[in-house]
Structure 1
Amino acid sequence: MTTESPATSTGQQKPTAESPWPVRTVARKIADWIHRLGAVWVEGQVTQISARQGTRTAFVTLRDPSADISMTVTCPTRLLSDLEQPLSDGAHIVVHARPNFYVGRGTISLRASEIRPVGVGELLARIERLRKLLAAEGLFAPERKRPLPFLPRGVGLITGRASAAEHDVLANAHARWPAVQFTVINTAVQGASAVPQIMKALRKLDADPDVDVIVLARGGGSVEDLLPFSDETLCRAVAAAGTPVVSAIGHEPDSPLLDHVADLRCSTPTDASKRIVPDVAVETARIDELRDRARRALRGWVDRERALLNQLCSRPVLADPKRPLERDSEQVWLHVERARRAALTVLNAEQAMVSEARAKLTTLGPSATLDRGYAVVQFRRDDGSLGVLRSVSDAPAGTGLRIRVGDGAIHATVDDD
């Protein structure tokens, strides 16, 4: 199948700056192309219904739950009145409609000829398919869930205005820890506007540096009422948040997909208030108990150290610490005295040996011989040095002599006779 351009199909030339088309021509050509699309089946979520009494045409705004896109659907009023269940905001429907372009206003709408509500079974099947998809991507993995701070500086609360869930969270949290600070943002918690409002509040609280924990709280409800908390866009936004998120949606049997994506799932809003802040009474009692245990442990340690000191002090070395010093001092002086006596003994022996050697030297020395009348005669050699006279041949006449006796020396000259 080939398509022709509007200009070719109508036989008109393409517009130029010199010969432009009028608005009516462009509008008619757009309408021709849109009307050629034919009837289609469209699924979406109802966000607004306008069906005035006495009018023949009703207007329904149909929104894509996974994107911020909506279209207007027109239908006969009887088409809405023939439904078994009255159509309401937030309902999921499938419509068989034909695109229609209103030339006068330049708008596009869908003209519905059939409307089918999506049943609970179909909704649950779609949620289950989305659950498997998110689980396969790892959004439910335990290792990606972050622990909550023990005592958050501030808690962000997203819940319905003046709801029982808001009262339960605030009342129980303040009863447990009166100083806890809450930043509450009230949003729609069901219907078509719930997801956009919740995501906007989530982004605001996630960007607040004073908020350490974000709580999404809502009371119980039907599958349709809790459907926004199984929205894929919201689940991915919670998974991407930088602040830990606590899910407190519905009651224990309720389990929207948000419970699996959040960092902590609480069965009820009351349970959430018990998980986000500690109980001041319990913590006070725990501190008192720890103080008592620390006091007992410290006293026990002091008693053990004191007993050890008493045991050490009872030992002889500590009972009289000067006694070992005195005993060692006595040993030192004893060794000093022994060394002194040994040194004196050696010195006396050496002195006796010196005296004996001196006496021998005196007895055997030349001085003793000279004292007995002997003399030593020396003559002067040619070089002027003195030599001992041992032969008469060494002293011819005229030789000068030096005669050493016991008490001095005399000089003489050899005669001829």
Structure 2
Amino acid sequence: MPDAEPGKSPDNPWPVRAVATRLAKYIDRLGGVWVEGQIAQLNMRPTVAFIVLRDPAADMSLTVVCPRDLVLDAPVKLAEGVQVVMHGKFQFHTARGTISLWANEIRAVGLGELLERIERLRRLLEAEGLFDPRLKRPLPFLPNLVGLITGRASAAERDVLTVARSRWPAVRFAVRNTAVQGPQTVPQIVEALRELDADPEVDVIVIARGGGDINALLPFYDETLCREIARCTTPVVSAIGHEPDNPLCDLVADVRAATPTDAAKRIVPDAAAEQQLIDEMRRRAARALRNWVHREQHLLDQLRSRPVLAQPLAALDTRAEEIERVRAAARRDIVRLIDVESDRIGHLSARLATLGPAATLARGYAVVQTLPDAAVLRTTADAPAGTRLRIRVADGAIAAVSEGPADARPEPNAAEQKDARK
């Protein structure tokens, strides 16, 4: 079996020198490149300078080596935090196994170019909706715990703590001291933001820094920081610089404060002002209640002064008298009607008595009825001989038997007349 190609199997490995030599040749073929970044470290040696060039948007860095005179003759004074553009060629140091950029030209990032980049980033973030006012979260009226990200022992930290505690002495802070200038600013602030945003007790986060030029405030224009602020679920207050300063993180934050002092005034209410407001509201409530009571009392007094309530029985007395008058009138009318009807009945009774059969019988007349049907005898033909009769007179009735019509009978003699009289 033929031997494997060198470096392709554990039986035929490359020695370190072979790998290092080949890697050095490969990197050497890359040629020259232009690199932009922030100076994180600068160490001057007698003949050369060692620079750590850091990417402000990511936790990545690159070692740069250049002649000492190149640093001294740079167009701007090089120091930590300065944004520069370098041209050089990468070299692989076979003895140490490291890669560095051998710089042969250094240029400062011009203000106009820097502002143009910031403007392009601003338009990009705005197009993505990170500045949309509808996404801004309101600040709590009284936060349970305030997260403060600022420089250690800085004037911004002192201003926020002093002003906030003077306004509301019971306010609590969770302070995270970070770099606020230089290449370490963005990663440290991002880490502090994530820590405070994950704390359920923190109700609002304040990022505070004093004023400075655009180079000093450059980390707060960083895209990584802006996106991290937009991802926070806790409201974020940006208090960077002074009133004229307006870094991009101000536009992404939920609330922009003109200064750290202004941020302290926004995150907590003024206890004295709130107490005055409460006192004023209590006075207004008491005054409104008194006015309402007086108004209702006046209304009750008016109601009580009305005759119907001042003398509630007067209306009943008036109605009682009216009812009594009506009852008396009705009684008189009824008595009068009864008297009239009584008189009329008396007259009718007298007429009836005069015209009735009783009066006729009293004058000597009689009513003859045939039996048993009690029909009134009207003609002689109705009572032939032997018909039983009932003769009604004024004081009663007698029974008789018909002997027939008087014309058909002979005249009675004297004895019969006598017997008849008996």
Q: TM-score, normalised by structure 2?
A: 0.77
Unaligned 5+ runs, structure 2: 410-422
1:314-329 equivalent positions in 2, closer than 5 A: 314-329=305-320
- Flag the 1:186–1:333 CA change in 2: closer, same or farther, 3 A: farther
Residue of structure 1 in register with 2:392 after alignment = 404
- Establish whether residue 344 from structure 1 lines up as the match of residue 335 from structure 2: yes
- Establish whether residue 245 from structure 1 lines up as the match of residue 233 from structure 2: no
Residue of structure 1 in register with 2:383 after alignment = 395
SS in 1 for 2:141: coil
- Flag the 1:330–1:100 CA change in 2: closer, same or farther, 3 A: farther
Residue of structure 1 in register with 2:52 after alignment = 60
Residue of structure 1 in register with 2:35 after alignment = 42
Question: Matches of 2:210 and 2:300 in 1, distance apart?
Answer: 67
Question: Matches of 1:208 and 1:373 in 2, distance apart?
Answer: 139
Question: Matches of 2:60 and 2:26 in 1, distance apart?
Answer: 21
Residue of structure 2 in register with 1:331 after alignment = 322
1:75 to 59, 65, 77: 65
Deviation at 1:218, TM superposition (A): 0.9
Q: TM-score, normalised by structure 1?
A: 0.77
- The answer as to whether partners of 2:197 and 2:232 remain within 8 angstroms in 1 is yes
- The answer as to whether partners of 1:57 and 1:77 remain within 8 angstroms in 2 is yes
- Flag the 1:226–1:353 CA change in 2: closer, same or farther, 3 A: same
- Flag the 1:87–1:191 CA change in 2: closer, same or farther, 3 A: same
What is the root-mean-square deviation in Å for CA atoms of aligned residues?
A: 3.9
SS in 2 for 1:90: coil
Residue of structure 2 in register with 1:189 after alignment = 180
SS in 1 for 2:238: strand
Question: Matches of 1:408 and 1:19 in 2, distance apart?
Answer: 171
Residue of structure 2 in register with 1:131 after alignment = 122
1:82-161 equivalent positions in 2, closer than 5 A: 83=74, 85=76, 87-98=78-89, 112-137=103-128, 139-140=130-131, 144-161=135-152
- The answer as to whether partners of 1:226 and 1:256 remain within 8 angstroms in 2 is yes
Unaligned 5+ runs, structure 1: 1-11
Question: Matches of 1:218 and 1:23 in 2, distance apart?
Answer: 55
Q: Percent identity?
A: 57
Question: Matches of 1:103 and 1:356 in 2, distance apart?
Answer: 163
1:152-231 equivalent positions in 2, closer than 5 A: 152-231=143-222
Alpha-carbon deviations, 1:198-222, whole Å to 9, x = none? 2233233334444333211111223
- Flag the 1:321–1:71 CA change in 2: closer, same or farther, 3 A: same
Question: Matches of 1:19 and 1:372 in 2, distance apart?
Answer: 177
- Establish whether residue 265 from structure 1 lines up as the match of residue 256 from structure 2: yes
SS in 1 for 2:35: strand
SS in 2 for 1:229: helix
- Flag the 1:350–1:204 CA change in 2: closer, same or farther, 3 A: farther
Question: Matches of 1:27 and 1:389 in 2, distance apart?
Answer: 176
Question: Matches of 1:38 and 1:404 in 2, distance apart?
Answer: 172
Residue of structure 2 in register with 1:413 after alignment = 401
What amino acid is aligned across from residue 196 of structure 1 in structure 2? P
- The answer as to whether partners of 2:75 and 2:108 remain within 8 angstroms in 1 is no
